[in-house]
Structure 1
């Protein structure tokens, strides 16, 4: 497969995965946003999927440019005790993301996909992330897609339990 075709396939699958994540978030009933056993509430899974898709999209950790809509400390405290980030009706600025914010974040990431993938060194033997040793950048990009889709599957299954079905997006 040519380099251009490989990059195009990566972009198509990133866009499709992000579109499916956005559908899960958009179709999540408000009362379900906080449902689940800590730390596996719906909103946390959605944020985790978006954050790590964003982080791992780039060549390496140093290339990461945070989302302008982020709240300081929320990703570090993502798995803290429920009382630290819930209930949903916390005062403005509290450490929880609303559906609209996660959808904005997904849109932000989606806009980065093409320019970032166009400039990745897919031939690098280094993933660019110290905690992923002995994995090439190309393999790491595929891992990123699997990670995103794994969490989309989790969210989709939670929605299906509520009789809400999310359509598959192939590209």
Structure 2
């Protein structure tokens, strides 16, 4: 399979996953955005997802450029991942708004093509804690987006909010 086709498919699947996340975030009622009902509020779950997405689209942790509006420490949900070790005593101060996180999604999408095609997919991931190829890291990154998007959707469904589309390729959708 030609790398160009692989890059096109990866970009399409990233866009589909990020659009599904965006669509879910747009349905979160204001009273549930920063709710203490769950271990971490919905906004922080979404921010964690986007932070990880942007980081793993970078060549390495050393070259990762933090999103300019990031709230310090909000990327950590549990501190169990290599990149989720906040400095001791970091207290998350503030809340990202829906429009801020949607702007973060737009920023990631705007740079997808460049970030995906910049690195050879058969080379190592660039992250020592992921001893896989760059291609496998992309697939893992997309699965990470879908995992947390599904969590947000399940939270919304529990509040009787429905109407989520499964995007096949960024364009075609199936309602579920």
TM-score (norm 1): 0.83
Aligned runs of 1:26-105 on 2, under 5 Å? Answer: 26-35=26-35, 36-38=37-39, 40-71=40-71, 73-75=72-74, 84-85=91-92, 94-105=93-104
* Alpha-carbon contact 1:123-1:137 (below 8 Å) kept: yes
Q: Which runs of 5+ in 1 are unaligned?
A: 86-93
* Alpha-carbon contact 1:74-1:96 (below 8 Å) kept: no
2:13 is matched with 13
**When you count helix as a share of all residues, which structure comes out higher?**
1
Q: Which runs of 5+ in 2 are unaligned?
A: 79-85, 170-176
Cα deviation, residue 78, structure 1: 5.8
* Alpha-carbon contact 2:47-2:101 (below 8 Å) kept: yes
* Alpha-carbon contact 1:60-1:129 (below 8 Å) kept: yes
TM-score (norm 2): 0.81
Measured in 2, the distance between the counterparts of 1:76 and 1:33 equals: 16
* Alpha-carbon contact 1:60-1:128 (below 8 Å) kept: yes
Aligned residues: 156
Measured in 2, the distance between the counterparts of 1:57 and 1:76 equals: 16
